[in-house]
Structures are given as structure tokens and as C-alpha cells.
Structure 1
Amino acid sequence: SSGLDGTLRGYNMSKEGHGALFLDRRGGVGITCLTGTPAVIDPEKRTVCCGYADGTIRVLSVCRNGFVLLQAQKPHNCPIRQVAYSPEGSFLATLGTDNTIFFFEVRSLGDHAVPLGFVQVPGQVSRLAWHPENCKLLLGLEDGTVLELSRPLPDSIDNSETYLFALDYRAVQPEVPEPEESEEEEGEEEEGDEG
């Protein structure tokens, strides 16, 4: 578990561990989100990626004496709202509260998050999720719109001058039906017309 006090807690839930607790506090900055690393990257499932209030991500792994920092990067200048790995474990996406999404290529546990760049979303992003089959990134916007971003292609991204790049996308805006008047409302309108 994690908290805005900057504490990362790890519990050993096995019978032998009796709920032993590991604590980690780094930088005195609040942890805003965390996710486990996919089994394809860490088969032992001991590694987590945490997003922090200062825009930093940290990848930490549990060892015998606590947490070990594997990698730290600062992709955002604002708090991180969400971190998510693609289903096959080759990408990591981080969502900032300023609606920028930073993409990393994940090669291995040791070469964990190689920066690719970021895209800016022209709306308030509530949630992101990777499509389980085609590795596209789905974004839920506050107004109900769903954006589907194409999968980043690392070989076609030139980040030598800037990390800002563009991705093809498709937007789906839900049809919101007009509310139907109830019989009670219709009766009230008729009474008002007669008077």
C-alpha cells in the first residue's frame, strides 16, 4: 500500500511471514498511485511502480531487508494520477494531472523504463487502460468521451530535440438520450396550460 505521506508499505501475507511489514520513505513526497509490474517483466512479482505528487516515478522491488530502488525518473511537472503497464509488459504509461501521458519502453527489469516521450490530451482524463488485445491505450475523459490512442512505435519516435510527439487516435463520444418526460411532468404541464 502507499500513502500521501510518502510511505510505501509491503506486507508478507504468507503463513511464514505473519504479515511482516516493510516500510520505505523516499524524498518526503506523497505517493499518488502504484501498480505491480507484469509477471513477464518480474516473474517473482516483487516489483511495483509508484507515481508521486512531484511528478516522479520510482520502480522498487522487495528484497529480504525491504525495498530496493531500481529506477527513478521525473516525467511530469505535476502529480501523477495513474501508472499502467501494457498487457504484454513492453510499455509503461504515466498520466499527469495536467493531462499529459508519458510513454516508456520496458525492456527488462534492469532496463526498466526507457523514455519515449509524451502526448498532450485536449481534455480532462479520468482514467487510462491498455486494451488487452491490440495494445492501444484507452482514455476515459471527464465528458464521457473515450479516446483510443495508437500503440507507440519506439523506432519511429525521434526524441533527440523534444519528448513531445503525436499519436494517431480515434474518439468515441457516447450518445446521450434526451430524458423522457414522466406522466407526472406531462400532467403538470397540461394543468399549467389550462390556467
Structure 2
Amino acid sequence: MEPINELVVGHNVWLSSVVRSSLPDSFIWFVQDSNGAIWKLDLSFTNMAADPECLFSFHSGAIQGLDVSKKSHLMATTTLDRSVRVFDFVANRELITTRFNQGGTALGWAPPMVNQSGGLLVTGFEDGVVRLLELYNPQRLQGAAERSPETDAQLRLRQAFKPHNAPVSAVAYDRSGEILATGSSDCTVWFFTVGEWYNPIGYIHVPGPVKALDWSPNSHSESRLLILCHSGHVVEVYSPDPGAQESSKTFKLHNLPRRSFRFKSIKSRIKREEEVKRRQAAKEKKMKERAERFKEIREEGIVFLEEEEEEEKKELPPICFPNPPSPVCCGFYSQPGQFWLSMGGFDAGFLYHCKLSEDQDEDPLQRQDEPFAFRHISDADDNPICSMTFR
């Protein structure tokens, strides 16, 4: 079959579905673009036919990084569709979209102490590159709700560097805004000095792919970084000295003090203890009901006794440990040396309160550390908490 006509919609457009307008005798079609758009097409193929019009533009795929400006009502997001977008969530509209040659995997808005204008974004990409993007004239954009749909907003590249060999998974400024830490699935964390130009301090290896980074808050006496690994390992390190390079041949920080934690599942034990309590409560309730009815019908006392014995013979839930271990979803400091973890997989459904042991002689890869407390989260066994933020 030979085509009669052809229409080029645009570059980087992946058409996946077309629907004709419901108006009778209409040549208008609406097209879904898997790259994140809805298009309006005039397929009359006449001299008066309108050019393709993009009605809606949005991310395709899951959001990989999101943060909100602390200076204005602006929000930035990035995904593997290779775009970084800035939104005005008060005006309910997108300000700007910038595309790159790699998908975005992490994003953070620099705090005001780092950038007074409030327009600096730190973005990580799947090829290990970190880009500092500056939003052009963000102070004017704070009044964007009163502006026309056309805006002069721009994301300008301020600096780019490649510290990692795998996707960047986390970025975080320390509490003083003097150091930037970046983590990756290549099991490394890099530290950079913050200024007009970001310079590397050094890096460390951690036991697993980095899931999240959490600097200690101002309430803690010392500045430390909590590194959460997808594998269930947690590492705490002191904030490095900007002049800590041990030699000019390598940036590896060999002597940076650290403490390690490796999550050991306690969910099956929690479930077992809950079942014991449930059976005990059910037993006490049956005994009370039997005593009340025994006064009326003595013969039924034997029947109730047999049912109770059958309940007691049922096996309790077994104690088991997931293999492979449950992944870490997120976490945060509670007080010095202690932190909360949200786990995925088998151990979902709880927040676990954990403590870094003073005994750090054991190999971090062989450690087994149990949480000392927990909080049950309703309806979270199949939907673990993946992000928590405090403002």
C-alpha cells in the first residue's frame, strides 16, 4: 500500500495513539506522544491546513527527581525522558522545559545560603554527570501568575562535571551550604566545595548503590552525612575537610571516619508477636464468654474447650529473613547516632528506628543490626513510603 499523504509532527515525537475529533466531517485528529505530549493535527492536507499544535506537554515515565524552591512558588522535576521542567504551582502552569542528551535521575534546589536569588538547581543524570542549572531572573518569575503565558525564563548551564560512572541517585548540601555531596549507583559518594566554581574534595566507597543522602541538622553538634544504600547498608561519615586530599594522584578519602549499620529484618518477629497477642486476647474473650454461658448450658462448656485447643495447636508464623535483603526506600536522622528507615519489599509497612553501634570492628558487609523500635504504617505493606521531607 502506498501512502496518499504524509505529515511530520515534530522531532523527538513518538506517536502511539490517534483519535479523530467527534465533530462530524472533521479533519482534526488528536495524537498521543509517548515522549510526553498531546498533539492536535489537521489532516485535511489542504493549503489552509494548520500546522501541528502541541496542546499539552508533560513528563513521560516516572518522576526521578523533584524539589521545591524555598524562595518562591516554583517546583522543578526531572525524569528519564531527558528533560528538566520548572513549574509555577500557584499559577498551575509550566514555565520552562530544557532537554539534555541523558535522562535525569536526581534533582535538588540549592538553599538560599548557597544562592540568594533562589534559582540554582543541582541535577544528576544517568551517565554520571552533575549539572548546575541557573534559572534566569527567578525574582521576576515570582510574579508569574500575573504575567502572560509567554515567559523569558531560561535554565542556563553554570557548570557541569562527571564524578560518577553510573546514574547519579542523590544530591545534598550540608547544613552550612559549604559542601555538596553526590551519590550514585556506582557505590561512591563525592564531596565538592561550594562557591562560584564547585571543586572536588574527594570521594569514598560505600557497601551498596546509594539511595539517599541526609546531612545532620543544625540541632546536632557535629556535621555528619548519613548515606543510605539500596542494599540495606547505612554509613555515617564526618564532613570532610576541603583540604583533605591525601595526594595529588587520587581523590579517594582513605581516612574519613565512618560508622556502619546493616539492616536486619525484624518484620516476621513483629508479626509473630502480634499473632501471639491476638491469640491471647481471643483466648481471654472465649474464656469470658464460656464462663457466662456455662451458667446457662453446662454441656456447651466441652465444645468451647475443644475449639480453644484447636486454636492453640495452630503453628505461629515462622521467623524468616528475605533473600535478597529488602531495599532501603528512604530515611532521616532522629538524633545523633540514630535514624529512621523506611524499607521496601518484605519489610515494608513499618518505620524502623535504628542506632549506630559503638562496636564498629566487624566487617560492614557482614554486619547484622536490628532496629530497636518501630512504628506500624497502615496499608503500607504493598505501598512503602519512598520519600519524607521536613520543612
Give TM class, smaller chain: 0.7 to 0.9
Matched letter for residue 259 of structure 2: R
Match of 1:5 in 2: 81
| In structure 1, distance between residues paired with 2:107 and 2:153 | 21
Which range moved further: 156-165 or 95-104? 156-165
Matched letter for residue 81 of structure 1: S
| In structure 2, distance between residues paired with 1:84 and 1:189 | 48
1:43 aligns with 2:116: yes
1:124 offset after TM fit, Å? 4.1
Match of 2:217 in 1: 132
Match of 1:61 in 2: 134
* Residues 1:141 and 1:20: Cα distance change in structure 2 (over 3 Å): closer
1:31 offset after TM fit, Å? 0.5
- Note the aligned Cα RMSD (angstroms): 2.5
Asked if the contact 1:58/1:69 (under 8 Å) is kept, the reply is yes
Aligned ranges 1:171-182 → 2 under 5 Å:
171-173=260-262, 179=269, 180=272, 182=275
Asked if the contact 1:38/1:87 (under 8 Å) is kept, the reply is no
1:157 offset after TM fit, Å? 1.9
TM-score, normalising length: structure 1? 0.82
* Structure 1 residues 99-133: Cα deviation after superposition (integer angstroms, max 9, x where no partner): 10011111x2x22x211121001234332211113
Match of 1:193 in 2: none
* Structure 1 residues 17-38: Cα deviation after superposition (integer angstroms, max 9, x where no partner): x735212113x10010100011
Asked if the contact 2:104/2:123 (under 8 Å) is kept, the reply is yes
Matched letter for residue 201 of structure 2: L
Runs of 5+ unmatched residues, structure 2: 1-76, 137-151, 280-310, 317-391
TM-score, normalising length: structure 2? 0.43
Name which one, 1 or 2, has greater alpha-carbon Rg: 2
Asked if the contact 2:207/2:233 (under 8 Å) is kept, the reply is no
Matched letter for residue 190 of structure 2: F
Match of 1:103 in 2: 191
Identical columns (%): 32
Match of 1:85 in 2: 173
Asked if the contact 2:210/2:229 (under 8 Å) is kept, the reply is yes
SS at match of 2:86: strand
Matched letter for residue 168 of structure 1: P
Match of 2:235 in 1: 147
The structure showing larger relative contact order (alpha-carbon pairs under 8 Å, at least 6 residues apart) is 1
* Residues 1:160 and 1:83: Cα distance change in structure 2 (over 3 Å): same
| In structure 2, distance between residues paired with 1:84 and 1:73 | 16
Name the structure with the higher strand share: 1
Aligned length: 184
| In structure 1, distance between residues paired with 2:229 and 2:172 | 17
* Residues 1:146 and 1:128: Cα distance change in structure 2 (over 3 Å): same
Match of 2:313 in 1: 187
From 17, 25, 37, the equivalent of 2:99 is: 25
Matched letter for residue 169 of structure 1: R
Match of 2:53 in 1: none
1:52 aligns with 2:125: yes
Runs of 5+ unmatched residues, structure 1: 191-195
Asked if the contact 1:80/1:94 (under 8 Å) is kept, the reply is yes
Match of 1:118 in 2: 203
Asked if the contact 1:117/1:159 (under 8 Å) is kept, the reply is no
Name the structure with the higher helix share: 2
1:188 offset after TM fit, Å? 2.2
1:87 offset after TM fit, Å? 1.5
Matched letter for residue 135 of structure 1: S
| In structure 2, distance between residues paired with 1:65 and 1:189 | 65
1:163 offset after TM fit, Å? 1.6
| In structure 1, distance between residues paired with 2:163 and 2:203 | 8
1:168 aligns with 2:242: no
Match of 1:158 in 2: 246
| In structure 2, distance between residues paired with 1:123 and 1:60 | 29
| In structure 2, distance between residues paired with 1:145 and 1:5 | 30
